[in-house]
Structure 1
Amino acid sequence: MSFWGESEGQPRNVVSPDIYAEDFSAAVDFLGTQSFVDRNWIGVLGICGSGSFAISAAKIDPRLNAIATVSMYDMGAAIRNGLRHSATLEQRKQAIAEAAEQRYMEFTGGETKYTSGTVHELNENSTAIEREFYDFYRTPRGEYTPEGSSPKLTTHPTLTSNVKFLNFYPFNDIETISPRPMLFITGVDAHSREFSEDAYKRAAEPKELYIVANAGHVDLYDRVNLIPWDKLASFFHQHLSR
């Protein structure tokens, strides 16, 4: 995504759902103009937060002909409501107020602040979700630091931009993607399962919700013995072939 990893964009770690969706369309621009690509058969796969960005893109870009998500996070709902609607309205308002005040600080040359993301150490009070993400992002399993970046900023958006997710509703009008097919893959034990189930409920046919046994959320990032390769392959072969 723009602003993250090896992608360009300044300032770094900025939240911009519109640009995240645009990144998918920009990829289609490139692929669809290559001589070896049939532009009528381009699909998209979004993992975690990128699942919701892919849906956002597909709603306004019909060139995405088949849409699959894995361990999808609806980043809008996650920031607005918390997992399983655990956040209160007062907590949301407080976060908005803090971000607004921080804008003054940074506009006048103050230090940039970052928020949320994966914790950097565990203790006896760490939650299961914190431990799950820590095991991926803070260990050699998934730790990756592009040149010129700091590992301490991995997964941490800027405080002032993170509130932009509050205006992000990727599942609104999801039914308009039909008749293009959608596949939602989630782990049976994934803490993010609620988002795939919500998207599936709202989407129009053709659609499928595929639950992976013995899998949590992060498992489907890189556990090659759990990722349903055959399901993904059959989905795209079925819907992206003449």
Structure 2
Amino acid sequence: EFEGGEVEYTSGTVHELTADTHPIQREFYDFYRTPRGEFTPASANPQITTHPTLTSNVKFMNFYPFNDIETISPRPMLFIAGDQAHSREFSEDAYKRAAEPKELVWVSGAGHVDLYDRVDLIPFDKLTSFFNQHLSA
């Protein structure tokens, strides 16, 4: 790509649903492929939205955000996740690895992308109290 080769795209959210579409892909489709969350700048190709490039995928696959998570302490960490999220195990793992002070909040009935935009599910009271407690001057 750097030398002018064609850009190759990989994985990402499916562009149409079928009877066999996996439930996680259905959840992501509901956000990224509908007006709820789709966004493609006029200059971009909508077929590549959420599709990483083959060359950038290497960095993504080698990035592990929990390395050294315990070193964030003593700064407080708040984890908020949907109790129905397919990624629930990552929140549990991050919370387990993090040092104190830390809090984990499960949002009942929420999936992975629900907390992106479903304001009725986002625990704003918890966010407000956490930041008021830990960001005071």
Give TM-score, length-normalised by structure 1: 0.54
CA deviations 1:120-171 (Å, max 9, x no partner) are 0111110000100001111111111223112111111101220112321221
CA deviations 1:29-71 (Å, max 9, x no partner) are xxxxxxxxxxxxxxxxxxxxxxxxxxxxxxxxxxxxxxxxxxx
Say which structure, 1 or 2, has more relative contact order (CA 8 Å, 6+ apart).
Answer: 1
Q: Distance in 2 between matches of 1:175 and 1:159?
A: 31
Identify which of 71, 77, 92 aligns with 1:182.
77
Identify which of 107, 118, 135 aligns with 1:223.
118
1:144 lines up with 2:39 in the alignment: yes
CA offset at residue 107 of structure 1? 5.3
Larger fraction in helix:
1
Q: Distance in 2 between matches of 1:166 and 1:151?
A: 24
1:208 lines up with 2:88 in the alignment: no
Q: Distance in 2 between matches of 1:206 and 1:107?
A: 44
Secondary structure at the aligned position of 1:209 is classed as strand
Please name the residue that 1:129 is paired with: 24
Could you list the runs of 5+ residues in structure 2 that have no partner in the other structure? none
Please name the residue that 2:89 is paired with: 194
RMSD: 1.3
Please name the residue that 1:235 is paired with: 130
Identical-pair percentage: 78
Q: Which amino acid aligns with 2:24?
A: I
CA offset at residue 108 of structure 1? 5.7
Structure 1 runs of 4+ aligned residues shifted over 3 Å read 106-110
1:114 lines up with 2:24 in the alignment: no
